[in-house]
Every structure is written in C-alpha cells, then in structure tokens.
C-alpha cells in the first residue's frame, strides 16, 4: 500500500455508500457540517454512478460496508473483534439493575446479530434509555449519539503514502470516523498504520507529488498535526511543503467555504500540471522542509504555493471563483492526464439557489459566471486546451455535504 503521486495510475479506492445516517443531516444540515440539504435518493444514485465510472476505468472499488460485513462473515476472529467493538460502543441508561441486565442480554445475544446490523450500529452509535416504565413495562427510548453522516467523505480520515496515516479529525461530528477506518485498515487490509495524536490532520489536506508532497493547514489540519504527519515516518518524500490555506483578498476573514482542505482549491490532474485558483495559490504561504539522513525534516525556505509549483516547472490551469467554490478542484485523477470531474455549472446553480454565499461573494460569483458565458469547468477553454482528458459526471446533489469525487474516495493504491 504505497502512493507517490496524485497522478499515478489509480488502482484501488474505498468508498462508503451513504445510508440512514444521512437522514439526520438532512433535518439539520449545518450542525452536521453539510453545506446545504439535498435529495438523498438522487445523491445515492450519483454515488453509485461514481463507483460505476471508476470500475469502468479499471479501478477496484471496495465499499466500506462490504469490507466489514464480508470480513465478519468469512473470518470468525474479525467477527469477534467487531462484536467487542459494538459492545464497547453501545450505551444503556436507567437504574443500575436495568443497565446491568441489558448489558448482560446484549453480551449473550450479540452472537445472533447479523453482521450488517453490527455495521449499522457502528455508523449510528445507538444508546438505549431504559429509565421509563409504562404500566409496569419497561419503555425503551433509542438515541443515536452522533450518527456519522460525513463518513462518505472517505478521503479525510487518513492519508496513504508508504503506509497509512490515520488522522485526528478536528470536528466532534467526525471524531469517531477514524475508529472505523483504522479498524478496517488494521484488521482487514493488514496495513502498516500510524496515528496522529497531538495535532489535527485530515486526508483532504494531503497531496503527494513525486519527490515532494504538500500538506495544507487551516480549518481542519493545524500546524501541530502537519508537523506530526511530516515526522510520522509514513511520508516518504525528499521535501514536504506545509501550506497555510488562503482566502480571497476581498474577504474580511476566514471562510470555511473557501479553504476547508487543500483539495478544495488545488489539485493535480497530470505530471507537471495543477488546477487551482491562481489568486489563492499566490496568497497561500508555504514552508519547504527537506529530509535529513535520519528521515526527519528541517525547514529550508519560505515561499508561496504558486511560486513553489512554478519553480518546479508546473503549468497552471486557473479556476475562477465560481468554479473554485463549486468544487471544481475536487476532481479525482485516475491516471496521468485523466480525471473524473463534477459538472460545476450544475453545482453552482444549486449553491446560488440555496443562498449559500454572502452578498459580496455572490455578486463576484455571478460576474464570473457571466464572464465565462456558461463555459465553466470542466467545459472551459482552459481545460480543452490543456489536453487533460475529463470524464464529467453529475454529483450536484451529493456535493451538498461539501465535497466532490476526490473527497468521496479513499485512494489506497496507485502505480
């Protein structure tokens, strides 16, 4: 399990098909970190289509549910570990006697519970309240402590380089996701893993590029997490560049919509080419670290993301604000010069209809759309002239959770 560059041939990914947990996010999108509500039935079909397109392009797709359920069905040792995980996860509330009896019943009965139900318990994290009695009969109330509605963004829980670096997610809504993915990488995929412990680090901020890699910092990955990742021993690069995620000059302060992760404004479709907002790349401060003989890193220089990539000989495909804010850079590279990209014109239409942006940003977006005369990424002149081969798919519903094809796939093998 080794990945050296974002443009290497994509061989294998893990995806999680969004399920019942999404219902909660649709009722309260913002608390669940979603950008906007969306139609779940359509979103599920879009997710299935993304899987189909990947498989048609020779990519092996593992669905998280299938990995866990099939693993439990075929391997009794893994099944026992899954049962133990559920036993530690489910909480009971009530009198001491009722809680003790319920716990004993669950321990006795869990062997009869089918593996799919155990997987769903992982996602929903149920608690059962046994305090209330009606006419002498115990009346249970069932709660889901924090359903993992963001789990379908499989990029963020980890980063894969010479092994798997399990992240530490900043937002409480996503903390438990790494418990599941680390369990899968360790117990099913038998991967070499390390964990981020002191800082925050998420996979959407990691971009491998041959002899160097980029790590974005900002809303989700902080400096401590980036430095811990750099020195983890998992990243096998001569240079590591830590980027301070930028915002547009006209904005007064931080805006999560602009720079949640590095891949929300920057990506690599081919060796020697980047697709980014040049404005943001020019304002993104960068510190370049070089590897020492002991596989540690020392700061060598300071620059900007734009200048660093330019000095490396990269060509730039510039994204306007309407394109960047509609996840255009969140494409997935399947081979050198070939990407799976969203239809940004469909996405920006939904974002504008939902009044996601403040008035100043909205005005600039509309002017940018008019300037492009309907030819937005990936149908823009810049993309046509670049020679990048684009597979355009509609993810306009499911991107409501805030992310495109790159965010929805955990890449675990490239050659």
313 vs 5: CA distance, rounded Å: 16
414 vs 11: CA distance, rounded Å: 5
The residues facing 212 across adjacent strands are 209, 239
Q: Give the pLDDT confidence score for residue 414 in this predicted structure.
A: 98
The 8-class DSSP code of residue 346 comes to H
Cis peptide bond upstream of 138, omega within 30:
no
Q: Give the pLDDT confidence score for residue 252 in this predicted structure.
A: 75
Q: Which CATH architecture has domain 10-67+148-414?
A: 5-stranded Propeller (3.75)
> Tens of pLDDT along the chain (415 residues)?
899 999 999 999 999 999 999 999 999 999 999 999 999 999 999 999 999 999 999 999 999 999 999 999 999 999 999 999 999 999 999 999 999 999 999 999 999 999 999 999 999 999 999 987 777 788 889 998 889 999 999 999 999 999 999 999 999 999 999 999 999 999 999 999 999 999 999 999 999 999 999 999 998 999 999 999 999 999 999 999 999 989 998 887 666 667 899 999 999 999 999 999 999 999 999 999 999 987 899 999 999 999 999 999 999 999 999 999 999 999 999 999 999 999 999 999 999 999 999 899 999 999 999 999 879 999 999 999 999 999 999 999 999 999 999 999 999 999 9
Q: Give the pLDDT confidence score for residue 257 in this predicted structure.
A: 67
The answer to whether residues 214 and 229 touch, using CB atoms and an 8 Å cutoff, is: no
Q: What count of other Cβ atoms lies within 10 Å of the Cβ of residue 37? A: 16
- Sorted by where each begins, the domain ranges of the chain are 10-67+148-414, 68-144
Q: Give the pLDDT confidence score for residue 254 in this predicted structure.
A: 60
Look-up of token digits 């996840």 = 327
61 vs 242: CA distance, rounded Å: 30
The answer to whether residues 47 and 17 touch, using CB atoms and an 8 Å cutoff, is: yes
The answer to whether residues 374 and 14 touch, using CB atoms and an 8 Å cutoff, is: no
Torsion of CA 53, 49, 207, 247, to 10 degrees: 130
CA-based nearest residue to 324, from 370, 264, 385? 264
Question: Which residues, including other chains, have CB under 8 Å from residue 293's CB and lie 6 or more apart?
Answer: none
| Terminal C-alpha separation, the chain | 10
32 vs 381: CA distance, rounded Å: 37
The pTM (predicted TM-score) of the whole model is 0.95
125 vs 180: CA distance, rounded Å: 12
Phi-psi domain of 233 (left: phi exceeds 0; alpha: psi -120 through 50; beta: other):
left
């Amino acid at each position: 399990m080794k990945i050296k560059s974002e443009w290497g041939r994509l061989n294998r990914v893990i995806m999680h098909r969004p399920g019942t947990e999404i219902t909660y996010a649709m009722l309260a999108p913002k608390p669940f970190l979603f950008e906007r509500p969306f139609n779940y039935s359509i979103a599920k079909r879009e997710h299935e289509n993304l899987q189909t397109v990947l498989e048609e392009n020779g990519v092996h797709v593992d669905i998280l549910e299938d990995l866990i359920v099939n693993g439990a069905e075929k391997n009794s040792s893994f099944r026992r570990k899954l049962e133990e995980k559920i036993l530690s996860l489910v909480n009971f509330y009530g009198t001491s006697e009722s809680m003790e009896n319920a716990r004993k019943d669950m321990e006795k009965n869990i062997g009869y519970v089918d593996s799919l139900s155990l997987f769903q318990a992982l996602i929903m994290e149920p608690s059962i309240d046994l305090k209330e009695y009606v006419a002498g009969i115990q009346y249970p109330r069932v709660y889901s402590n924090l359903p993992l509605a963001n789990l379908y963004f499989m990029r963020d829980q980890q980063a894969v380089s010479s092994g798997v670096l399990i992240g530490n997610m900043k937002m409480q809504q996503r903390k438990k996701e790494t418990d599941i993915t680390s369990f899968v990488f360790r117990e099913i995929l038998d991967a070499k893993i390390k964990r981020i412990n002191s800082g925050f680090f998420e996979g959407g901020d990691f971009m491998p590029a041959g002899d160097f890699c980029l790590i974005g910092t900002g809303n989700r990955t902080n400096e401590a997490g980036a430095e811990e990742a750099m020195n983890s021993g998992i990243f096998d690069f001569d240079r590591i560049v830590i980027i301070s995620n930028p915002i547009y000059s006209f904005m007064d302060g931080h805006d999560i919509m602009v720079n949640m992760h590095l891949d929300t404004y920057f990506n690599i479709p081919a060796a020697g080419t980047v697709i980014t907002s040049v404005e943001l790349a020019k304002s993104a401060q960068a510190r370049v670290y070089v590897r020492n003989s002991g596989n540690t890193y020392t700061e060598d220089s300071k620059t900007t993301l734009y200048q660093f990539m330019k000095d490396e000989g990269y060509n730039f495909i510039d994204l306007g604000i309407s394109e960047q804010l509609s996840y255009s850079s969140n494409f997935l590279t399947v081979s050198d010069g070939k990407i799976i990209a969203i239809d940004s014109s469909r996405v920006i239409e939904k974002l504008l209809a939902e009044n996601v942006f403040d008035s100043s940003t909205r005005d600039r977006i509309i002017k940018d759309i008019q300037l492009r005369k309907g030819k937005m990424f990936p149908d823009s002149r810049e993309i046509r002239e670049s020679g990048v081969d684009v597979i355009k798919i509609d993810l306009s519903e499911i991107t409501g959770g805030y992310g495109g094809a790159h965010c929805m796939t955990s890449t675990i093998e490239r050659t």
